[in-house]
Amino acid sequence: MSESIEERPQERIGRRTVLTAGAAAATLLPLSGCAAVQSLRPASGGADTLVVHSQFSGAVAGADVFERVVEQYRQQTGRAVATLSNGSDLPIVFETSVLAGKEADLAIVNMVGKTLAWTGEGATIDAGRFLDPWALAGRIEPGAIEEWTTETGQLRAFPYTRTNWPVAFNTRLLEENGLAIPTTSEELVAAADVLRSAGLGPVTIGGGDWSGQKLFIQIIQSFLTADEAADVFASGNFTDSPGAIAGITHFAELRDAGVFVDSAQGFTSDSMLTQYNTGQAAIMSSMSSALAKVPADRAAETTIGGWPVPPGAVSTKPTVIQSFNGMGLWISENGADKLDLVEPFVQWLFSDDVIAQFITESGRDMNAVTDVTSENFPLVAQAQALAAGDTVDPVILPDLLIPEAVFEPLTQATAQAYGPGTTPEQIVDVLEGSYRNA
């Protein structure tokens, strides 16, 4: 039998006190008249209906699989499941729902920004107490459990998808121009000159959004140990870190050498993917879920690798970002009153068949323990094999370290870094300003 939340009343926090800062609450209130109100309607589905709020929507890899497995669950169990979806605005909509006491029972969303505080502030409950009773302790990668656990020992959510962030190289475009896959910065700069002369973009990147932020941070980490990186991105003190300064200086050198496509600071992850998929650029830094969207003809001429090694770097091999962070299954306060509905649905999502569907039919990297590989998505399979090998150095995904209030300002700051003419000193100033002013 599932543990009843009522047995632990001391852990219940009033949902209207979840966001104790008045400014935070005020930020959410304008949504109550539009998207948030629409999102609340399924929550009135009744005590026998499980309400799931998910980021598996639109063009997100796995959205079609999620829709299908939910319908399979309905058909096989006869249980009622109401779904609603949002993209990157899901955390705000969910928090608005919490303030109204109308949040979904289960949220499927990334662990980043606002969501980092949910469990500690009572918007969602500690999922760790259900690992053993629901037979999930041995089903989820131990590293994922560790990464999703707060400093106070609470498991924020059941870790579901994960992040593998390599670099895609169009070997046809490289070879047609007499180039091999660059493994050092010197080779990358030389390749960029040749590609530009041929009318091709070198490295395409969404310099204006999170994808550009991640590559910027990855380049800096070539000069930082994991511990140093953790200190820098948690504190925002770039000035006192010689490695961070070296990384920022190197980034500016790459930018000024024309390594990134023109106007990268105005690109998004979607425009980056379009540019690579249409053969306008030869290199792309991309998380594996986006690699699943590379069409077959382009995938056939793509090789997956790591970001080239700069001179004087801490890294001795090309780097890739690896993390157990991705979407998780978060149980809300409303869900705590429906554990008899939440438990079988969560177990269903972690079943062998469902996990296999996500891996083989959408190319998602999953946190479940499994031997299934994304053989139908060759680039994702290459990335998985690369991550399991020893030819690259992994670097951290610092999303858990960057304070919530800093996340968006930091993205804006890195967009400025992609702009031409910005000096390393100016980049440091806007980066540290994003921490000071958040």
The pLDDT assigned to 73 comes to 98
From 63-72, 101-110, 205-214, 394-403, the region with the lowest mean pLDDT: 394-403
Q: Determine the Cα angle at 345 with ends 341 and 347, to 5°.
A: 120
From 7-21, 103-117, 185-199, 242-256, the region with the lowest mean pLDDT: 7-21
Strands 80-85 and 302-305: unpaired
Asked, colleague to colleague, whether 5-162+324-371 and 164-323+380-436 share their fold, the answer is yes
How many other CB atoms sit within 10 Å of the CB of residue 149?
17
pLDDT in tens, 280-329: 999 999 988 889 899 999 999 999 999 999 999 999 999 999 999 999 99
The pLDDT assigned to 368 comes to 97
For residues 153, 156, 161 and 165, what is the CA-based torsion angle, rounded to 10 degrees? -70
Q: Is 109 helix (H, G, I), strand (E, B) or coil?
A: strand
The pLDDT assigned to 228 comes to 96
Annotated domain spans of the chain: 5-162+324-371, 164-323+380-436
Share of the chain above pLDDT 90, in %: 78
Give me the mean pLDDT over the 253-273 stretch: 96
| Residues 103, 332 contacting (CB under 8 angstroms) | yes
Its pTM stands at 0.81
For tokens 């399924």, the residue is: 42
- Residue 208 Ramachandran class (φ > 0 left, ψ -120 to 50 alpha, else beta): alpha
Adjacent-strand bridge partners of 211: none
How many other CB atoms sit within 10 Å of the CB of residue 234?
15
Give me the mean pLDDT over the 210-227 stretch: 95
pLDDT band with cut points at 50, 70 and 90 for residue 226:
very high
Q: Which CATH architecture has domain 164-323+380-436?
A: 3-Layer(aba) Sandwich (3.40)
pLDDT in tens, 364-415: 999 999 999 888 899 999 998 898 889 999 999 888 889 888 988 999 999 9
Question: For the domain bounded by 5-162+324-371, which CATH number is listed?
Answer: 3.40.190.10
Phi and psi, residue 435, nearest 5°: -80, -45
Q: Which of 126, 219, 235, 141 is nearest to 227 (CA)?
A: 235
The pLDDT assigned to 384 comes to 87
